[in-house]
Chains A and B, each alone.
Chain A
Amino acid sequence: MTNQVVLDPTSEKKLVSRELLARPATISGQTIGLLDISKARGDMFLNQLESRLTTAGAKVLRFRKPTFTKPAPVDLRHEIATKCTLVIEALAD
C-alpha cells in the first residue's frame, strides 16, 4: 500500500484573531458605542442601555448598520474603533 495524497480544499488561511482589551474598572468616563444592527426593536433595547450607561457617567454614541444581513461596512467599524473605548452590539431574534 502506498500513501495517498489529497489536495487541501480549504483556504489554507489562518484567520487573524485579535485579543480583547482588558475590561475597564469602571464605565464612568468611557465613550461607549451602541451599534444598532437594524433588526426590529433593537433600538428599544439600546435606548434602555443608553439611559443606564449615561446615568453611570459614560458618554454614549449611537451607530447603525444599513442591514442586519450584511457585515458592518468597514468605514463604520473604523469610525467606532476610533471614537469609542467600548462597543455594545444589539442582537435580535
Chain B
Amino acid sequence: MTASQNPLRDGWTLIVKRECATCVMVVPVIARLARELPSLTVYTQDDLTFPEGVASVNDLDLAASWHADIDTVPTLIFRENGVETMRTAGWQRNEWRKITGIKDLGAELPEFRPGCGSMSVDPDIIDKLRVRYGGEILHARRIDIAAAEDEVEALFARGFTDGLPVVPPTPERVMRMLSGTSRAPQDVVAIAPPDLVELTVEKIAINAVMAGCLPEYLPWVIAAIEAVCTDEFNMHGVLATTMPVGPVIVCNGPGTRSIGMNSGVNVLGQGNRANLTIGRAVQLTIRNVGGGRPGEIDRAAHGNPGKLSFCFAEDELGSPFTSLAVSRGFDASQNTVTVFAGEGPRCVVDQLAREPQQLAQSLASCLRTVHHPKLPFAFDAMLILGPEHARVFAQTQWSRERVLQEVNDRLQLPGAEIMRGAGGMAEGVQEAFKDATLPKFRPDGLLLVHAGGNAGLFSAIVGGWANGTLGSDPVTKLVSA
C-alpha cells in the first residue's frame, strides 16, 4: 500500500459487509454516526443496500479495503490532514466512543464483539487483488498461453523446465510468492552465471513458483542463490565442469523447523516439499535466468540426480555436535544456508563399530575413495553422519573437531601408495611425491553434518569438486526475511 493510493479522506471512515454478524449488530450505531458525523464515509464490501438507511460507498471491487489495508470488518478509522490517527477493528465500545467522541455510543450493545474477516483478505481472492492493485511491481514479460493449450506442456515446449513439470508462474502465484520476502521485486540479488545477467527478486520468485515453493521458502532460495553466485563458490565452473557436481545446500537454524524441512528419516530422499523445492528453485533460476542448461554450458559427463535438487536441513536438536553453520562462524540462532559443490551421496555401512576409533577408521577408509583412492588434496567431501553413528562418538564425548581430526589422521596417504602406476593403477600423483605423505583432504576440506533417520548404523558421503581458488569453496550465507 502506498499513501498516494489510499482513497480514504479526512474524517471518519467505516468499512462493513452485510455477511458479518457484528456489522449487522452495529447498524443502529452506524445510523447514529451518519446523523451526527457529517464527514463519515461508509464503504460496503458486498451489498450496496447495506447498512440500511445509510448512504454507503461502493467497495465491491475492494479497492478501498485493499489500499487501506483492512483485514477485519467493521473497521472504524479517523484521519486528519491526510494521516490516519486512529483505527479499531470489530466492535469495541470504548474504542468507538473514543474515536467518534460520542460518549454514550452503543449503550444498548455489548461491550465487545469481534469482527469478521475483510473480503480483501479472503484467501480465495487475495491473489487476484494483489495483482489488480499491486501488479505494477511485476516487470517480467507476460507470455500468453492459448486457451486450447495445455499450460504445463506449453512450459515444457518453451524450454523452461528441468525435465519435470513446473507450476505455471501466473502473476497471481508470483505476487503470492513475493509476499514471502520483504525485499523489493526489482532488487538485484546477484549476477547470475553463465550469462552474467542481473538476477532480481522477481525472477527468483517466478522460478520458485515453478519449482513448487511456498512463499516462506523464498528467503532460503534467495540466500542459496546469493551463495552460489559468489566468486568463491564459482557456479560458472560448477556448471561447466565435466564432473558430476551441483550445489548441495545445507540449511541451518530454527527457521528450518518453522518451514518444515526434513533433517531426519530419508533426509536426502523424496517426500519433503521444502527440501526439494528450495534446491529445485535454485537450479531452475540458474538454468532459466543465468542460462546454464545441460548440453550447452553444463558439460557434465554424467551429472547426478541431485542436480534437480539437493537440499536438506541439519538435525541440530538431536546432534551431539555443534552445527555446520556454527563451525563456520555463525550463531545457532541464525538461519543460514551453506552451499557445497558436490556429487550424489553414497552410503557408509558400519554396523559393528562400538568404539569411536573403529568407526573413525571405517569412515576414513570409505572417504579415501572419494573420486579415486589415489587422488589426495584436490577434492573436498561432506560427511553426513547418521544419528546412530554420531552416538558412537557421543558416548565418549568426541566433539566435531575431534571426529574430524581422528578421521583426517587416518587419511595421511604415503606417496609410494598413491603415485602413478602404484597398485596397478595409472592414476595417481607424480613420482616426485613418492617419499612424501599427502593428506586426502586439505585443512577444512572435510565438512561434517549431522542428519538422517534414527535407525541405521549408516552415514553418507558426498564427494566434492576441484577445491579452493582453483575451483570452488563452500560458502555460507545468512537467510534474511
Give the residues in chain A near B169, CB-CB below 8 Å.
6-7, 9
Q: Are A5 and B170 in touch, CB under 8 angstroms?
A: yes
Contacting A at CB under 8 A, from B143-178, are: 143-148, 151, 154-155, 160, 168-171, 174
* A–B pairs, 6, beta carbons within 8 Å: A3-B147, A4-B145, A4-B170, A6-B168, A9-B207, A10-B289
B290 closest partner in A (C-beta): A11
Given contacts A7-B170, A9-B207, contact A67 B143 (CB under 8 A): no
Q: Give the interface of A toward B (CB within 8 A).
A: 1-13, 15, 66-67, 69-71, 93
The contact of B141 among A4, A12, A15, A69, by CB within 8 Å, is A12
| Overall SS of chain B's interface | mixed
The contact of B470 among A2, A6, A9, A69, by CB within 8 Å, is A69
Give the contact-size bracket for chain B.
Answer: 35 or more
Given contacts A1-B148, A69-B470, contact A9 B210 (CB under 8 A): yes
Q: Are B155 and A67 in touch, CB under 8 angstroms?
A: no
Q: Are B145 and A6 in touch, CB under 8 angstroms?
A: yes
Per-residue contact bits, chain B 197-236, to A (CB 8 Å; 1 contact, 0 not): 1000011001100100000000000000000000100101
**C-alpha gap A63/B253 in the complex (Å):** 46
Residue B291 at the chain A interface, CB threshold 8 Å? yes
Given contacts A11-B289, A67-B470, A69-B470, contact A5 B210 (CB under 8 A): no
Q: Are B168 and A70 in touch, CB under 8 angstroms?
A: no
**C-alpha gap A68/B461 in the complex (Å):** 26
Q: Give the interface of B toward A (CB within 8 A).
A: 138, 140-148, 151, 154-155, 160, 168-171, 174, 192, 195, 197, 202-203, 206-207, 210, 231, 234, 236-237, 240-242, 284, 288-291, 466, 469-472
Q: Are B469 and A7 in touch, CB under 8 angstroms?
A: no
Q: Are B236 and A71 in touch, CB under 8 angstroms?
A: yes
**C-alpha gap A70/B470 in the complex (Å):** 8
Q: Are B234 and A7 in touch, CB under 8 angstroms?
A: no
Shortest beta-carbon distance from B291 to chain A in Å: 7
- Kindly name the residue among A1, A15, A67 whose own CB sees the greatest number of chain B CB atoms within 10 A: A67
B208 closest partner in A (C-beta): A9
Q: Are B234 and A69 in touch, CB under 8 angstroms?
A: yes
A66 closest partner in B (C-beta): B469
Q: Are A7 and B138 in touch, CB under 8 angstroms?
A: yes
**C-alpha gap A4/B143 in the complex (Å):** 8
Give the residues in chain B near A71, CB-CB below 8 Å.
236
Give the residues in chain B near A69, CB-CB below 8 Å.
234, 236-237, 240-241, 466, 470-472
Q: Are A6 and B289 in touch, CB under 8 angstroms?
A: no
Given contacts A7-B140, A7-B206, contact A1 B147 (CB under 8 A): yes
Q: Are B168 and A4 in touch, CB under 8 angstroms?
A: yes
Shortest beta-carbon distance from A5 to chain B in Å: 5
List 10 tightest A-B contacts by C-beta distance, closest first. A69-B237, A1-B147, A8-B141, A7-B140, A11-B197, A9-B288, A4-B145, A9-B206, A69-B471, A11-B289
Give the residues in chain A near B140, CB-CB below 8 Å.
7-9, 12
Q: A5-B170, A6-B170 are in contact. List 20 more A-B contacts (CB 8 A).
A: A4-B145, A4-B170, A5-B144, A5-B145, A5-B171, A7-B174, A8-B142, A9-B210, A9-B284, A9-B288, A10-B288, A11-B195, A13-B197, A15-B291, A69-B234, A69-B241, A69-B471, A70-B234, A71-B236, A93-B242
Shortest beta-carbon distance from B132 to chain A in Å: 13
Q: Are B145 and A9 in touch, CB under 8 angstroms?
A: no
B193 closest partner in A (C-beta): A71
